[in-house]
Amino acid sequence: MTPRTGPLRLGDPVQLTGPKQRLHTIVLTEGSTFHTQHGALPHEEIVGHPDGSIVHVGEHAYLAVRPLLHDYVMSMPRGAAIVYPKDAGHILTYADIQPGLTVVEAGVGSGALSLWLLRALAGQGELVSFERRQEFLDIAEANVAGWFGERPANWRTAVGDLAETLGDHVPDQTADRVVLDMLAPWECVDAAATALQPGGILLAYVATVTQLSRTVEAVRDDGRFAEPQSQETLIRSWHVDGLAVRPDHRMVAHTGFLMTARRVADDLEIPSFKRRSNKASYTDADVEAWTPGAVGDREKSDKRLRRAVRDAQRQADRLAAGTIDSDSRPEDDA
């Protein structure tokens, strides 16, 4: 995708922020009009203005800017919960995503993380994304095409279980990164270790401490990784108004844990990293508590998924053709 810069032009998505900070997203289209309760604004009157300009609808001022990927991700149609921007940035940093790498991703969900990974790859290297459900993949593919204007040439997708089919799509020791966003990433540790070349990175994104614990133990037991590292990211915004400076009452707190581990060379005896206590054992009852059904998975109804697929495809078609106005804030169902 060629970066959109310079004056606003026909075909550009534009985010309009009006009174009370209400956001609207439109695609500048010849002959179209942006309608509000304050009046109407022909799209041609926005064309030619610099990015970040003020336009008027009646007596009311609207800020017109091109939406950022952050804005797009937060407002795009969803079939599954998304990886939020704060975690996506953390993933790109600690997985060291850069152009030219071969990156494996599972699962795709609504395509939020796929968008960040593809942009970080910048058209070089390859992203191979696995998703168990065709409905989710349909939504993700439409969302990705909507942002880039077309399907990126360096993106391959596959429907299936990564643990069973990774070897069919990625030869052994050819992947540079494996990023797992799923309920039971410990089931994919062996396949990931087989696909990764020495020095590669395995990153797992999980929601609960029980998932984190089991994933870390699976990585340690595999024997092909250095000691895994685990962390989470919290964001707290601040209210700043003159001398009234304080933390906001709300914050983006826990959304998930990140675990990273480096693949080591074959036939290497990994040093023993002494811990304060012996490795904790767990019973069958503990394992049951760690199963996907016990960690809060919520199934999406078929009707809701069909609607999300339609919305995502419609948005992609309109962005490609530049034909419609739309609100930019669907209900957050994450």
- Summarised one tens digit per residue, pLDDT across range 218-256 is 999 999 999 999 999 999 999 999 999 999 998 888 999
Q: Is the pLDDT of residue 166 over 90?
A: yes
Identify the bridge partners of residue 231 per DSSP, sorted by sequence position: 258
- Cβ-contact 13, 26 below 8 angstroms: yes
Structure letter (DSSP) for residue 279: P
SS3 label, residue 121: helix
Which is nearest to 256 in space by CA: 230, 291, 217, 219? Answer: 230
Residue type, 250: R
SS3 label, residue 59: coil
Burial 88-126 (b: 16+ CB within 10 A, else e): bebbbebbebeeebbbbbbbbbbbbbbbbbbbbbeeebb
Strands (E), 66-123: 102-106
- The residue assigned the tokens 């959109």 is 4
Residue 230: CB atoms within 10 A of its CB come to 16
Q: Is the pLDDT of residue 74 over 50?
A: yes
- Cβ-contact 264, 193 below 8 angstroms: no
What is the residue-averaged pLDDT of the chain?
87
pLDDT, one tens digit per residue, over 257-304 is: 999 999 999 988 877 655 554 555 666 666 666 555 555 555 667 777
Query: Which residues, including other chains, have CB under 8 Å from residue 326's CB and lie 6 or more apart?
Result: 24, 25, 26, 315, 318
pLDDT at 50: 95
pLDDT at 279: 54
Structure letter (DSSP) for residue 316: H
pLDDT, one tens digit per residue, over 10-46 is: 988 899 998 888 888 888 889 999 998 889 999 999 9
Identify the bridge partners of residue 130 per DSSP, sorted by sequence position: 106, 158
pTM: 0.80
